[in-house]
Amino acid sequence: MREKIPLALLIILGLIGLTDRFMPHPGPEALNQYLRDTLLRIISAFALILGLGNLIVRHFNRIKRKEEHWPHSYVLLGSFVLASIIGLFGGVSGELWFPTSIGGFQFDITTIYNKILIPLGASMFSLLAFYMASAAYRSFRARNWLAALLLISAFIVMLGQVPLGAYISPVIPEISQWIMEVPNTAAKRGIELGIILGMLATLLKILTGIERSWLGSGR
Amino acid sequence: MNLSTDIWVWVGVVLTLCVYSFLYKDNPFYRFGEHLFVGVANAFTLSFMYHRIIVPIMWRPFAGAVRIAGEEGITPELFNPMAEANFLVIIPGLIGCMYFTRFIPGITWMVRIPIGMFMGYYTGRVVPAYFEGSIFPQMKGTIVTQASFDPAMGGGLMAGIFAVIILIGVIGTLTYFYFSKEHKGLIKVGANTGIVFVMVGFGASFGFTVMARVSLAIGRFVFLLRDWLGVIS
């Protein structure tokens, strides 16, 4: 029972999802819409709560045990609680009862997203520019002709994206464009087809109950 | 120089500098930014999920059903899952609560029910979607037809040659990643052709990603120099 009920539910819902596109009938369409828009969305919300609970417990334990960098867990928990209060009781754009502005200073959750998360995210991703450049410096050595090919194509594409490339020669942006559209497309397409075929095989194994690792241990 | 007086610009500057301090080495300022990011991002997700899922999809239909039942008594319509006000929304809530059985010894296995339902439905749903959205269009784009060479049908000599190169590249790449047979003879030729395309493709992807990151870095510097310091327009 501990394995058969979840497995039966997986197979039944899997078949409903699988046949959705092939059954243009109001009945199955309504069922699919209910599953997609109501049932599974609510279930996914609870999964998020579980994940957040896990995060909070993890950082409480980190503070309790005074693990490495534990004071930063206060930052995480404090910012989470404060922003959650603002978001839950102030509404997405500050339309609920909790005050989300002082004078002209807005601090509703959407503003927090735009003014804190976006700068932090952009800065973190842009950090990679420095590290990728230094990694390229260390690893881009033309040891053989295939490595040289990689180096040259990367160099041309980088040069083709900036005005300097067109300044050196108007052909460089065109070659860069060609590399992106022809050999890059061919390689990406081959890799993508391989990945998707592999994924489909795994999905079908899950649907037919052959792949059961998601059930975890037998407890 | 025209220094900004907007508090949020100053917050953005402090956080940007906290993150960039990592270029020197891992330090408490960077970790502060990192932990703040995780805390605020999760709070935003929680708020969004509460206001966009829990309240409109679960709470309002249930509260509406309770109100109607109080005013008019319990009617069969209150058990119609498609109705605006219905009691049945409690069922997904109960199934969702099964995630927490993970912490209750003896019924831990029940956590598999919501996982199985979620996985099952989306596993089934993506199979035809992958065929329709990825495999067929990718194959269609790879097949070389007379139209690829015909200017009247949007092709041309160069377009046709490029289509043939793409076809060779796709077959070569697939052959390179085919490990069920030893790379000998014709397969070796295909694999050797494939690796050329793969290396050019990886190089192009690398170059493109570096430039995307550089453009993000430029965006941050523009923010610092224009929005904060006001030294550029």
Contact A116 B223 (CB under 8 A): no
Contact check, Cβ <8 Å, A149/B35 = no
- Check whether residue B93 and residue B35 sit in a common domain: yes
Residue A203: inside a domain, yes or no? no
Interacting residues of B144 by C-beta distance below 8 A, sequence separation 6+: B160, B163, B164, B167
Q: How far apart are CA A6 and CA B110, in angstroms?
A: 8
In A, which residues are within 8 Å of B200 by CB distance? 149-150, 153, 179, 183-184, 187
Return d(Cα A37, Cα B81) in angstroms, integer: 12
User: Does the CB of B190 have a partner CB in chain A at under 8 Å?
Assistant: no
Q: Which domain holds residue B47?
A: 1-103
Do B171 and B77 share a structural domain? no
Q: Which amino acid is at A28?
A: P
- Kindly report the nearest CA distance between residue B200 and chain A, in angstroms: 5
| HSE toward the beta carbon, residue A46, CA cutoff 13 A | 24
Phi, psi of A102 (to 5 degrees): -125, 110
SS3 A219: coil
In single-letter form, the type of residue at position A190 comes to G
Q: How many of the other CB atoms lie within 10 Å of CB of A89?
A: 13
Which of A67, A82, A114 is the endpoint of a domain? A67
Cα separation, B176 vs B196, whole angstroms: 10
Structural domain contains residue A163? no
Say yes or no: B95 and B168 in one domain: no
| Domain annotation covers residue A100 | yes
Considering the domain architecture, whether residues B175 and B78 belong to the same structural domain is answered as no
Q: What is the 3-state secondary structure (H, E, C) of A97-135?
A: CCCCEECCEECCHHHHHHHHHHHHHHHHHHHHHHHHHHH
For residue A187, being part of any structural domain is answered with no
Chain A interface includes B231 (CB < 8 A): no
Q: Do B174 and A194 lie within an 8 Å CB cutoff?
A: yes
**CB contact (8 A) between residue A128 and residue B213:** yes
Chain B partners within 8 Å of A128 (Cβ): 213
ipTM value, please give it. 0.87
- Of the candidates B22, B127, B26, the one whose C-alpha atom is nearest the C-alpha of residue A206 is B127
Contacts of A180 by beta carbon, 8 Å cutoff, 6+ apart: A157, B204, B208
A58 falls within a domain: yes
- Choosing from A67, A92, A116, the residue where a domain stops is A67
Examine the domain organization and report whether A88 and A77 are in the same domain. Answer: yes
Tell me whether B122 touches chain A (CB under 8 Å): yes
**Do both A21 and A37 map to the same domain?**
yes
Domain assignment present for residue B172? The answer is: yes
Is the CB of A189 less than 8 angstroms away from the CB of B166? yes
pLDDT at A218: 55
Which residues in chain B have their CB less than 8 angstroms from residue A138's CB? none
- Is the pLDDT confidence value at B27 over 80? yes
User: Tell me, what's the pLDDT at B146?
Assistant: 86
- Tell me, yes or no, whether B91 and B154 share the same domain: no
Do A102 and A63 share a structural domain?
Answer: no
- What would the two tokens of residue B182 be? 């030893």
Length of chain A: 219
B50 is a domain residue: yes
- A135 and A73 belong to one structural domain: yes
Average pLDDT, chain B: 92
**Is residue A25 located within the same domain as residue A86?**
no
In a domain, B213, yes or no: yes
Structure tokens at A53: 């609970």
B2 and B98 belong to one structural domain: yes
Name the H helices within chain A: 4-19, 26-34, 40-64, 71-90, 109-112, 118-139, 145-160, 163-168, 171-181, 183-207
Count of domains observed in chain B: 2
In a domain, B206, yes or no: yes
Phi, psi of A18 (to 5 degrees): -65, -40
B43, B77, B103 - which closes a domain: B103
Same domain, A51 and A101: no
Q: Do residues A15 and A60 both lie within one domain?
A: yes
| Closest in B108, B109, B118 to A43, CB measured | B118
Does B117 map to a domain?
A: no
Compute the distance between CA of residue A192 and CA of residue B134 in angstroms, rounded to an integer: 9
The beta-carbon neighbor of A6 closest among B112, B166, B200 is B112
Contact B99, A50 (CB under 8 A): yes
DSSP type of residue B204: H
Inter-chain touch B16–A203, beta carbons under 8 Å: no
A23 or B115: whose pLDDT is higher?
Answer: B115
Which residues on B lie below 8 Å from A35 (Cβ)?
Answer: 121
CB-based contact B19 A123, cutoff 8 Å = yes
- Within a domain: A5: yes
Q: Minimal Cα distance from A34: which residue of B?
A: B82
Pick the residue from chain A with its C-alpha nearest to B206.
Answer: A154
Domain boundary among B103, B134, B163: B103
- Average confidence (pLDDT) over B56-78: 91
Answer whether residue B129 is part of any domain.
no
Nearest alpha carbon to residue A192 among B133, B193, B209: B133
Residue A194: the pLDDT is: 92
**Locate tokens 């899997």: which residue?**
A14
- Best of A175, A177, A182, A211 to mutate (most B CBs within 10 Å, chain B): A182
Q: Does residue B8 carry a pLDDT above 60?
A: yes
CB contact burial A160-186 (16+ within 10 A = b; e otherwise): bbeeebeeeeeebbebbebbbebbbbb
Which of B126, B179, B210, B222 to probe by mutation at the A interface, max A CB count within 10 Å?
Answer: B210
A45/B12 Cβ within 8 A: no
Mutate to test the interface with A, among B17, B27, B47, B226 (most CBs of A within 10 A): B47
Q: Which amino acid, A35? A: L
Among candidates A75, A129, A183 on the partner chain, residue whose Cβ is nearest the Cβ of B35 = A75
Query: Between the CA atoms of A43, A47, A52 and A55, what dihedral angle is there, to the nearest 10 degrees?
Result: 170
pLDDT of residue B87: 92
Q: What percent of chain B has pLDDT over 70?
A: 100
Q: Which among A97, A117, A139 is the end of a domain?
A: A139
| Local confidence pLDDT in tens for the 219 residues of chain A | 788 899 999 999 999 998 888 888 888 888 999 999 999 999 999 999 999 999 999 999 999 999 999 999 999 999 999 999 999 999 988 888 898 888 889 999 999 999 999 999 999 999 888 888 777 777 767 678 888 899 899 999 999 988 999 999 999 999 999 999 999 999 999 999 999 999 999 999 999 989 888 888 655
pLDDT band for B6, please (50, 70, 90 cuts): very high
Domains: count for chain A? 2
Domain end, chosen from B103, B124, B151, is at: B103
Q: Indicate the helix (H) or strand (E) that contains B119.
A: helix B112-130
Chain B (91-120) residues lying within 8 Å, Cβ to Cβ, of chain A: 91-93, 95-97, 99-100, 102, 108-109, 112-120
Nearest 5°: CA angle at B53, between B47 and B58?
125
Question: Which secondary structure element, helix H or strand E, spans residue A208, and what is its range?
Answer: none
Q: Report, as an integer, the average pLDDT of B39-43.
A: 96
Whether B125 is covered by a domain: the verdict is no
Q: For the segment B175-195, what is each residue's pLDDT rounded down to a tens digit? A: 999 888 888 899 999 999 999
Q: Do A7 and A51 lie in a common domain? A: yes
d(CA B59, CA B202): 49
Q: What separation in angstroms does the CA of B69 have from each of A176, B63, B81?
A: 67, 10, 15
Residue A219: its pLDDT value, please?
53
Q: Does residue A32 share a domain with residue A89?
A: no
| Cβ-Cβ contacts under 8 Å, B122 against chain A | 17, 40
Residues B82 and B157 in one domain: no
3-state secondary structure at position A22: helix
Task: Find the domain containing A12 and state its range.
Answer: 1-67
pLDDT band of residue B202 (cuts 50, 70, 90) is very high
